[in-house]
């Protein structure tokens, strides 16, 4: 807990994770301000409406703020590259510039493990450096650039004077009740029979239950106050630390929602090739929704990505409180499931 209530700006609080972070801050007694283009829906928070790309709006939002948790981003599998850059890089720069002018002490950059995923498996690795040149897709590339920009502005870095202390956290595959990015898409596609397993579905992946993600972000914020020289200028991957196969994860989500888990398979190489073709077609004639497959998505569903959490838990003094199985039980309750099949763990595939 803070010695006194802090005033914290949370960007992107209308999303699942941003809202969870803002509510957790309110619950512990901090004064919370949010910045996003639509109402946050967070009781007890003061909303500022607008974009992180608007310098005037950002300046107004940051007046009198002690700390920033920056989650706002353009998140999509497809879209105009210039829009990704404007929000994920330009918006981060605008916030950092204003934070320096306003004397903000702490800045948590919420990033993504995709900033260091280059297409091959990530097996028990720590937070390797963000790579804007080789990350896969416009989202990952611009998030990588935004992370490097933020860490480069850490006020404790050699050659810099003042400015906020900065830490980057990379929550991995955040999910939970109300999630529209992962859970609802999995459930919708499974219900329509359009959710295949790529290869054997045996790639091990880490995930992160939403409450754990919010707790980890608050831990990073607090460690910037209590141990700035330990975490300042560094990046950490946040996960539950419970790798499961893609088949197990998808099956667990589907069972919790009461839909049939995926049973048909597509060769991983074919999915990657098809994803590249879909991306090309989407650039010429975008669809109304996300593309059904992209090369990045095919790689994410067919390669292992699980992470060494020892430095994360040691440096942030944090550990997840909600297990994957407990998260699935909560998800089943959200969908109205009460039977043993809905609440139990996933079948082996």
Catalytic residues: 139
What gap in Å lies between CA 230 and CA 224, rounded to an integer? Answer: 8
Q: What is the DSSP string of 136-180?
A: SSHHHHHHHHHHHHHHHT-TTSTT--SS-EEEEEEE-SEE-TT-T
User: Which element (helix H / strand E) includes 45?
Assistant: strand 45-49
What gap in Å lies between CA 110 and CA 250, rounded to an integer? Answer: 25
Paired strand residues for 36: 49
Instruction: Determine how many CB atoms are found less than 10 A away from the CB of residue 185.
Output: 15
Closest CA to 95 of 107, 81, 111, 83: 107
What gap in Å lies between CA 121 and CA 169, rounded to an integer? Answer: 20
318, two tokens: 């944090």
What gap in Å lies between CA 248 and CA 204, rounded to an integer? Answer: 9
- Whether the CB-CB separation of 36 and 59 falls below 8 Å is answered with no
Residue 32, sorted as left (phi over 0), alpha (psi -120 to 50) or beta, turns out to be: beta
Q: List, in order, residues 6 or more apart from 298 with CB less than 8 Å away.
A: 198, 268, 271, 272, 274, 275
Which SS3 state, helix, strand or coil, does residue 49 take?
Answer: strand
- Whether the CB-CB separation of 113 and 307 falls below 8 Å is answered with yes
What are the residue ranges of helices labelled H in the chain?
16-27, 55-62, 81-85, 92-102, 138-152, 183-191, 210-226, 228-231, 246-257, 268-284, 295-302, 310-316, 324-334, 340-343
């Amino acid at each position: 807990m803070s010695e006194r209530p802090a005033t914290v700006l949370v960007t992107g609080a209308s999303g699942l994770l941003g809202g969870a972070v803002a509510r957790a801050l309110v619950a512990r007694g901090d004064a919370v301000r949010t910045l996003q283009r639509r109402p946050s829906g967070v009781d007890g928070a003061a909303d500022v409406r607008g974009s992180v790309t608007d310098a005037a709006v950002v300046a107004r939002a940051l007046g009198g703020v002690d700390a920033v948790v920056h989650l706002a981003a353009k998140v999509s599998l497809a879209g105009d590259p210039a829009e990704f850059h404007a929000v994920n890089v330009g918006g981060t720069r605008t916030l950092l510039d204003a934070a320096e002018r306003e004397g903000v002490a702490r800045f948590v950059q919420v990033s993504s493990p995709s900033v260091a995923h280059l297409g091959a498996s990530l097996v028990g690795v720590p937070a390797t450096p963000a790579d804007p040149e080789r990350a896969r897709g416009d989202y990952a590339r611009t998030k990588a650039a935004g992370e490097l920009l933020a860490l480069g502005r850490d006020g404790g870095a050699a050659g810099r004077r003042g400015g906020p202390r900065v830490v980057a956290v990379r929550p991995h595959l955040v999910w939970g009740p109300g999630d529209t990015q992962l859970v609802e898409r999995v459930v919708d596609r499974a219900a329509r029979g359009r959710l295949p397993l790529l290869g054997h579905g045996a790639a091990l992946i880490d995930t992160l239950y939403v409450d754990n993600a919010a707790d980890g972000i608050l831990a990073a914020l607090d460690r910037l106050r209590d141990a700035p020289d330990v975490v300042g200028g560094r990046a950490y991957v946040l996960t539950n630390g419970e790798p499961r196969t893609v088949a197990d994860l998808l099956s667990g989500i589907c069972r919790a929602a009461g839909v049939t888990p995926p049973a048909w398979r597509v060769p991983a190489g074919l999915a990657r090739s098809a994803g590249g073709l879909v991306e090309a077609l989407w650039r010429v004639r975008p669809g109304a929704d996300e593309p059904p497959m992209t090369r990045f998505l095919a790689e994410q569903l067919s390669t292992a990505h699980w992470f060494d959490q020892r430095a994360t838990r040691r440096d942030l003094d944090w550990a997840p409180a909600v297990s994957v199985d407990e998260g699935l039980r909560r998800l089943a309750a959200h969908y109205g499931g009460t039977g043993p099949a809905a609440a139990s763990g996933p079948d082996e595939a």
